[in-house]
Amino acid sequence: MTAQEPTAQGRRPVVVLVDGYTTGNYLPPAFARKGADVVHVQSTPELMTTMLAPDLGAYLANLVCDSPEETARQLAAYRPVAVVAGQEPGVPLADRLSELLGLPTNGSAQSAARRDKYEMIEALRRAGVRCAEQFRSGRPEELAEWAERRGEYPVVVKPLTSAAADGVAICRDAAEVRKAAEAVLATRTVFDEPNLEVLVQSYLVGEEYVVDTVSCEGRRYTCGVWQYRKKLIGTHNIYDYELVLDHQDPRVAELIAYMDTALRALGIVFGPTHAEVIITADGPALVEVGARLAGGMNPAYHDECLGANQADLTALAAVRPAEFLERYADRNFRKLRETWLYTTPTELDGVVDGYDQDVLAEIEGLETVRGLNVKIKEGGRIRPTVDLYTSSLRIFMAGDSAAQVERDYLHIQRIKDQVFRLR
C-alpha cells in the first residue's frame, strides 16, 4: 500500500482530520498510538499561513475539498471510522463530512453556532442557558449606539469567528467601541478570514476559567479546569498564566454542570471542546467554546499533571468508543501536580535576529519547567503583546507546590525578554 492508496478492508482503521493546524498536529501521533491511520482534508485551496501548518507527512493522503459531497465520495474509499476537526475553520466541514459519511457527528444544523460567536450565544439563550447580552453589525456607529442604549460599561468588542483573544477589546465608552470595531473590520481573523461584522457584548464580571472536554455519544470526560490570570493593558485583557484547579474545588463541579448544559444547547455530542467561562455573581456564563483541542495542549505534560490528555482521549473516542465510554464517560480529571501554563507577554518591538541560548537553557533548566515553546521565529516580527498570538513564549510548568512554581515563574518574568536578540 502506497501513501496515497486507501486502506484495505481489515487493515488499520482510518480517521479523517479536517484542518490539522496548530495543536491539531498532536492528533496524528495520538491516532497512531491507538492503531489508526489518518487522512487529512484541507478546507481551503491553499494551506493557511496564519497558523502552524499540519505536517502532511503524518497522513496517508491530503485531500483538498472542492465540495463536501465530492470529498465525502473520495473519503468513502478509506472506510473511515470518524471525522474530527483539527482547528476551528475545519469545524463546519467536519460536521458535514461526518454527516454525509454516516459517522459519529455533531451534525451540520448547528455548525454556525459552533463557529460564529453571536450564533453561539444566541443558541444558549434559546435553550435558557445563562449568557451575555449582545449585538452584531458591520457598522461601528451601530455598535456604539447599542452600547449607549444599553448604558452599562465596559462592553467587549470582538470578531465573530476568530480565536486567541484576537481583536478583543474591553471598551469603556462609545468612542472606544467605534475605534475597536473599526480596527476589527480593517483586519482579517487569525484564520485569515475577512471580518465583515463585529460583535459587542455585555462585560461578564468575574474570574475566567477554561473547561476542556472530550465527548462520545453525548457523554463527556472533563480533561481539566484551569483558572486564567490576565492583565489589562489599555483595552486588551492579555493572557499571563493559567493554573489547574484542584478536582475537589467546588468551582469545578459548578463549571462542569454549566458546560454540560452549554454543550447540549450547541449540539456537541462528539469530539473535543475548549471552553472559556466566567463565574459571575449569578453563576457561570460562557465566553466562547471551540469544538477542537485546547491551544495549550501538550500530551506528555497533561498526562503528568492531569492523568490523561485531550489528544489521546479524542483518538480513543473516535477509534474505540466503547472503551472510552467504559473508562472515561461522565468522569473528570484529577489534579496530580501544581500546574501552571505561562504565556509570556512582551513590550519588545522589532525583528528577531536570534536567541540567547544561555537564557533559554536557564529557563529550561528550572526545576518546574516541563517544556518551552518560542513563539516568534527567527526573522519574524515581535510586537507588544495584545493577544495570545503576540505573546512571546509558552512555558509548561509543574511542581509540588504553588510556591515552588511561583518562584520559577517570577524568575522567568525577570529574564523572558532576554531570550530575543533584535535587529
pTM: 0.91
Q: Is residue 173 part of a domain?
A: yes
Q: Is residue 323 part of a domain?
A: no
pLDDT in tens, 307-328: 999 999 999 999 999 999 999 9
| Final residue in a domain of this structure, among 181, 202, 223 | 202
Q: What is the CATH number of the domain that holds 92?
A: 3.40.50.20
Question: pLDDT value at position 181?
Answer: 95
Mean residue pLDDT across the chain: 94
Question: pLDDT value at position 231?
Answer: 77
Q: How many CB atoms lie within 10 A of CB 362?
A: 16
| Final residue in a domain of this structure, among 80, 112, 144 | 112
Same domain, 87 and 154: no
Same domain, 63 and 18: yes
Q: Are 331 and 221 in contact (CB under 8 A)?
A: yes
Question: pLDDT value at position 135?
Answer: 97
In the sheet that holds 14-18, the strands lie side by side as 62-64, 37-42, 14-18, 82-85
Count: domains in the chain:
3
Same domain, 91 and 141: no
User: By mean pLDDT, which of 161-165, 287-291, 315-319 is the weakest?
Assistant: 161-165
Q: Is residue 51 part of a domain?
A: yes
Is pLDDT at 155 greater than 50 in this prediction? Answer: yes
- In this prediction, residues 278-292 reach a mean pLDDT of 97
Helix (H, G, I), strand (E, B) or coil at 219: strand
Same domain, 108 and 19: yes
User: By mean pLDDT, which of 68-72, 278-282, 294-298 is the weakest?
Assistant: 294-298
pLDDT in tens, 192-237: 888 999 999 999 999 999 999 999 999 999 999 999 988 777 766 7
Same domain, 92 and 50: yes
Question: pLDDT value at position 95?
Answer: 98
Same domain, 18 and 107: yes
Same domain, 105 and 163: no
The proportion of the chain whose per-residue pLDDT surpasses 90, expressed as a percent, equals 87
Closest CA to 59 of 104, 9, 20, 100: 20
Q: Is residue 330 part of a domain?
A: no
Q: What is the CATH number of the domain that holds 415?
A: 3.90.1170.30
Q: Is residue 28 part of a domain?
A: yes
Is pLDDT at 421 greater than 80 in this prediction? Answer: yes
Q: Is residue 73 part of a domain?
A: yes
- CA 51 to each of CA 127, 238, 370, 422: distance values in angstroms, whole numbers, following the listed order: 34, 19, 24, 23
Is pLDDT at 99 greater than 60 in this prediction? Answer: yes
pLDDT in tens, 366-405: 999 999 999 999 999 999 988 777 899 999 999 999 999 9
Q: Is residue 354 part of a domain?
A: yes
Same domain, 88 and 173: no
Question: pLDDT value at position 10?
Answer: 54
Closest CA to 104 of 327, 332, 325, 326: 325
Q: What is the CATH number of the domain that holds 143?
A: 3.30.1490.20
Same domain, 366 and 401: yes
Report d(CA 290, CA 82) in Å as an integer: 19
Question: pLDDT value at position 388?
Answer: 78
The residue with greater pLDDT, 42 or 388, is: 42
Could you tell me the residue range of the domain that residue 36 belongs to? 14-112
Same domain, 90 and 141: no
| Final residue in a domain of this structure, among 51, 80, 112 | 112
Is pLDDT at 8 greater than 90 in this prediction? Answer: no
Classify the C-alpha dihedral 341-300-319-35 as positive or negative.
positive
The model's confidence at residue 165, banded by pLDDT at 50, 70 and 90, is low
Question: pLDDT value at position 61?
Answer: 97
Is pLDDT at 152 greater than 90 in this prediction? Answer: yes
Question: pLDDT value at position 164?
Answer: 63
Same domain, 103 and 142: no
Is pLDDT at 77 greater than 50 in this prediction? Answer: yes
Same domain, 88 and 155: no
Q: Is residue 63 part of a domain?
A: yes
